[in-house]
């Protein structure tokens, strides 16, 4: 009984051992067996390129990236590079050409291009370079220095694309902002960020104030001036115009002129070749507590009129500037002039306030100035005229 049991156990172990050995051998030699049964493929049958020709999956791209790429694809061919050449005379009395770079955006199928005034200011020659590299001489239609805008024109047959103009009144802080331009001569460069703030003010090169600017952190560098600032729908919401920088390069603060304002200015320039804006003709200082004490006034708000331009609407309307000179430290200040309190019953507390309110009026319109003269309140009626600087 015990012998049979041992014999049965031995047979089982032997069978399992044979199965294990056979399985191992078959696994090790399966490729050879497969070739012998089904035939070994010849070298001519092996096509390693078939793997390369298989369709590859599309690269993963986020929704945010997709928005940016689509905006660029829609708008980039409506953006042009601008090269302006100015002739100067050096110390040896030789005429020397100097070139500047900027950007523009095509706004009309007839070939009108919107850019900054400072991009083409004083230029003897302006050349536009299209996206494909074609260089075309451009005609200067008109400029508006006070708002830093200009319009150029190329023949309509060269227009490849026209930018879609949006509505800058609907801009919200935090929305996407995309800039396309020509920084340092690197054409059609895209940068992106957000709208950091709206209704910013910035002193212009001629002393005027640029109003209601869009602030963005999209990188804007020299050469970007005049290019479009776009929203996530690919619509132009602003014209890039300036940066705030201590070094001259990008530091995260750029400014754009709202497209609603730019559209209005461009329309005037295209129609008449000039931009007409109303003018008052005064310069002054915002009243403060310290200034009031220095000049012996009781009011601490309003605008102290320092100077009135001869023949200006303010001069014709009876506004008086400073009558005597006061020395404060190393500053000479004309004092004794009128203090402007309101324009059409709206408080004005700085020259920026006054400039903004005048800019909302039309040439030929009559406005009321409430002033203080020697402590007495007066109301003057001023008929606005066109600003001769424009």
Task: State the Cα–Cα distance between residues 310 and 313, nearest whole angstrom.
Answer: 9
Pick the CATH number of 164-272 from 2.60.120.200, 1.10.390.10, 2.40.10.10, 3.40.50.720: 2.40.10.10
Tens digits of per-residue pLDDT, 248-301?
Answer: 555 568 899 999 999 999 999 999 998 888 889 998 888 999 888 888 888 999
Q: For the chain, how big is the Rg over CA atoms in Å?
A: 37
Task: State the Cα–Cα distance between residues 153 and 303, nearest whole angstrom.
Answer: 42
Superfamily of domain 278-386: PDZ domain (2.30.42.10)
77-86, 92-101, 128-137 — which is least confidently predicted?
A: 92-101
Element (H, E) at 193: strand 189-203
* Catalytic residue list: 118, 148, 225
Element (H, E) at 5: helix 2-28
Task: State the Cα–Cα distance between residues 179 and 310, nearest whole angstrom.
Answer: 43
Reply yes or no on whether the pLDDT at 134 is more than 80: yes
Domain limits, the chain: 2-42, 79-158, 164-272, 278-386
The CATH number that domain 79-158 falls under is 2.40.10.10
Task: State the Cα–Cα distance between residues 255 and 216, nearest whole angstrom.
Answer: 6
pLDDT category of residue 94 using cuts at 50, 70 and 90: confident
> Smallest Cα–Cα separation from 220: which of 102, 114, 330?
102
Tens digits of per-residue pLDDT, 309-359?
Answer: 999 999 999 999 988 887 777 677 788 899 999 999 999 998 878 887 888
pLDDT at 6: 60
The pair of structure tokens assigned to 140 is 């200067």
> Smallest Cα–Cα separation from 338: which of 310, 368, 291, 380?
380
Asked if residues 291 and 303 have their Cβ atoms less than 8 Å apart, the reply is: no
197 CB neighbour count, 10 Å cutoff: 15
Reply yes or no on whether the pLDDT at 43 is more than 50: no
Tell me whether the CATH fold assigned to 79-158 matches the one assigned to 278-386. Answer: no
53 CB neighbour count, 10 Å cutoff: 8
The pair of structure tokens assigned to 340 is 């402007």
φ/ψ of residue 188, rounded to 5: 50, 50
């Amino acid at each position: 009984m015990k012998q049979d049991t041992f014999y049965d156990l031995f047979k089982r172990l032997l069978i399992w051992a044979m199965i294990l050995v056979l399985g191992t051998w078959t696994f090790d030699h399966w490729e050879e067996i497969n070739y012998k049964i089904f035939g070994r493929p010849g070298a001519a049958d092996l096509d390693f390129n078939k793997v390369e020709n298989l369709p590859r999956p599309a690269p993963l791209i986020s929704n945010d990236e997709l928005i940016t790429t689509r905006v660029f694809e829609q708008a980039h061919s409506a953006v042009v590079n601008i090269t302006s050449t100015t002739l100067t005379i050096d110390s040896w009395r030789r005429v020397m050409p100097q070139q500047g770079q900027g950007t523009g955006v095509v706004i009309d199928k007839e070939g009108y291009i919107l850019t900054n005034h400072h991009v083409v200011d004083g230029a003897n020659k302006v050349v536009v370079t299209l996206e494909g590299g074609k260089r075309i001489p451009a005609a200067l239609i008109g400029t508006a220095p006070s708002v830093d805008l200009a319009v150029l024109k190329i023949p309509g047959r060269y227009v490849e694309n026209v930018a879609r103009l949006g509505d800058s009144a609907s801009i919200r802080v935090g929305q996407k902002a995309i800039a396309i331009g020509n920084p340092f001569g690197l054409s059609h460069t895209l940068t992106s960020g957000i709208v950091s703030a709206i209704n910013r003010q910035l002193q212009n090169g001629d002393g005027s104030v640029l109003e209601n600017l869009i602030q963005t952190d999209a990188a804007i560098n020299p050469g970007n001036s005049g290019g479009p600032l776009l929203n996530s729908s690919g619509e132009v919401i602003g014209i890039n115009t300036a940066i705030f920088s201590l070094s001259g390069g990008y530091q995260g603060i750029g400014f754009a002129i709202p497209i609603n304002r730019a559209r209005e200015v461009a329309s005037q320039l295209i129609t008449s070749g000039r931009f007409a804006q109303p003018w008052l003709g005064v310069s002054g200082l915002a009243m403060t507590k310290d200034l009031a004490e220095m000049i012996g006034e009781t009011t601490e708000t309003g605008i102290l009129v320092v100077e009135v331009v001869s023949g200006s609407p303010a001069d014709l309307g009876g506004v008086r500037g400073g009558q005597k000179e006061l020395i404060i430290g190393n500053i000479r200040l004309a004092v004794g002039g009128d203090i402007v309190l309101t324009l059409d019953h709206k408080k004005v507390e700085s020259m920026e306030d006054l400039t903004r309110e005048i800019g909302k009026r039309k040439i030929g319109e009559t406005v009321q100035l409430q002033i203080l003269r020697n402590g007495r309140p007066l109301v003057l009626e001023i008929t606005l005229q066109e600003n001769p600087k424009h």
